[in-house]
Structure formats: structure tokens, C-alpha cells
Amino acid sequence: MGLQDEIAHRPWAMPSAPWVMAQVWHDLLFAHWSLPTDRLRVKVPKGLELDTFAGRAWLGIVPFRMSGVRLRLLPPLPGLSAFPELNVRTYVRHGDRPGVLFLSLDARSALAVAAARAWFHLPYFRARMSCEAEGGAIRYAHERTHAGAPPARLEGRYAPSGPVFRAALGTLEHWLAERYCLYSVAADGAIRRAEIHHAPWPLQIATAAFTRNTMAEAHGLELPEEPPLLHFARRQDVVVWNPVRIA
């Protein structure tokens, strides 16, 4: 079964237009903290609504690495299609479509940063990054180097600690992970939505120890003292559609 044949889990129909980009995400950690809604609501652009679960808002810090990044009908380009990435995200909706709002995205690839800023209107930043296997765990190191951007660092180690499962509809895990679009703001202030598609997330409960984490601080946010909700995914194949103006 191909990626686009597994669609029953989607909350709305697949786009009729062809996708424009494919990616593979590896060794991904979802680290989530619940933050006061008023702290996150001010980060949401006009035209979008902060999405909450049982009245709680969530911030995610998501380190991983990418491979196989390519445009439709083209092969991956050597040296340009594989690199680590790190996202800081929260959750929003427009109408009946919940999605992801990225507060920042960091990548080691300068070309990926430039392309994503211009094409998808996303707040991408250049960074020094590594994502290395260490036994059954992942050792991750990140330091933002983008000129004029707020400094930010993440260093630590994470690993899966349970069997693979698919989150059940209605659970917090499903609400956090199963999102099929992302929202961004163009230079003219217009909201744009890019549809994405992937199989249901193959999640595992995870452990993590961060020796340095200033990703939220770079956005003027303070993480709570309680430990984050942690999930790991070994691999996820993804296709992405062109962003379209919605407001």
C-alpha cells in the first residue's frame, strides 16, 4: 500500500491538486508542555484560533532529522536532501481544520532555510546541528546561528521506551500528533495553509534528558517545572502541498 492509499484516518479529504514535496522524518521526539492559554494566544496571528485540548494549550519542541527531501517528479539532490531540523510549535485552527503553527524552525541546510522562508512563509533559521544514534538513543545538539535571530540552543539525549502504538481518536496523543495542515503568515499578512499527508503516527513512549534547552525562552515563553509529555517516532514519510491563501 502506498502512502496516498492510506487515507481513512484523515480528518478531511485529500487535496485534489498533486503534492509538491516529499520528505522522510527520522528519529523524531515530540516533547510537549502545557502552557497557560493567554501566554500562547498572543503568539497566534490574527485570523487563526488557538486550539486547546480540554481547555489546555500546548507547546511542542520537536527535534528530528530529515532525508529524501525532494520536489515532485525529481530525485533527492545529494548534499541537499538530508539534514537535522528542530521545530517549536503550537496548535491552531481555522474554521473546522486544526493544524500546526510553527513559532520557529531551525535547520542545518542554508538552502532549505531560504527555500522554506520564500515558498512556505515559515520562520526558518540556520543552525549548527547534529542528530546521532547512540546505542538505542539519539544524541541531539543544536545552536542557532541565524544572523539577527534570537539565540536558542537544545542539547540532550532521547530514546523510545515502549512499544509502537497508534494514538486512539479522542486522546491527547492523537490531538497533538495527527495534524494534516500547517499555517503560516505571508509578508503581506495573509494567512496561508499548506496541506500535508502521512500515515498515522507510529508513536512510542519516550524518555529524554536535556542538558540545555532555551527554545521556548527564545520566544519569551517559560516552560513549567513539570516534566514534558514525551513521544518518539522512528520514521514518518510525508508529502506536502503548495500553501494556499485562506484569509
Q: What's phi and psi for 187, nearest 5 deg?
A: -60, -30
Tell me the residue range of the domain where 40 lies: 3-245
**In whole angstroms, what is the distance from residue 193 CA to residue 181 CA?**
7
| pLDDT range class, residue 241, cuts 50, 70, 90 | very high
Going by DSSP bridges, is the β-strand pair 49-50/83-94 parallel, antiparallel, or unpaired? antiparallel
pLDDT for 172 equals 98
Q: Domain count for the chain, please give it.
A: 1
d(CA 29, CA 11): 23
Q: Which three cell numbers stand for residue 199?
A: 500515515
Task: State the pLDDT confidence band at 85, using cuts at 50, 70 and 90.
Answer: very high
Residue 113 to residue 12: CA distance in whole angstroms: 29
- Cβ atoms < 10 Å from Cβ of 189: 10
Cell (9 digits) for 208? 529524554
CA distance 201 to 30: 11
Mean pLDDT of 82-102: 97
Q: What is the pLDDT of residue 2?
A: 64
Which CATH number do you get for residue 67?
2.40.400.10
Residue-wise pLDDT tens digits, 111-165? 889 988 998 999 999 999 999 999 999 999 999 999 999 999 999 999 999 999 9
